[in-house]
Amino acid sequence: MGTYQIDLDGQYIHRKIKNTNRIMAGLPPLGELVVHHKNKNPADNRTSNLRTMSREAHYTLHKKSKAYSTYRTKFFANNPNASPKTMSYKWKKFKERNNI
């Protein structure tokens, strides 16, 4: 979990920024959508770093990211001389076998 900036109304700044932009563009407020930080830095609330998505899509995105990170760490721990290209190929096969 990261650190989030909260304003005086007790709302997360990144949600407020995204809601304001949506309303100005004539779109409805976030509602059931969540705001994702593209660069995974919760303190970076630049509009270009914020993306709205469903809770399910957000969960899936982070689940895949965590799975990749874990796989990569274990792969290189067990294969210290392997190339990144080999790891990428093995990761692709691993994803296919495990429906990731």
- 92 neighbors 58 (Cβ within 8 angstroms): no
DSSP 6: B
pLDDT at residue 1, rounded to an integer = 40
Please give the average per-residue pLDDT across 76-97, as a whole number. 85
2 — pLDDT class (breaks 50, 70, 90): very low
- 41 neighbors 35 (Cβ within 8 angstroms): no
Integer Cα distance of 46 and 49 in angstroms: 5
Domain extent listing, the chain? 13-54, 59-98
61-82 pLDDT, tens digit each: 888 888 888 888 888 889 888 8
7-52 pLDDT, tens digit each: 545 556 666 666 677 767 776 666 667 888 888 887 788 888 888 8
Q: What is the DSSP string of 16-61?
A: HHHHHHHHHTTPPP-TTEEEEETTS-TT---GGGEEEEEHHHHHHH
91 — pLDDT class (breaks 50, 70, 90): confident
- Helix, strand, or coil (residue 5): coil
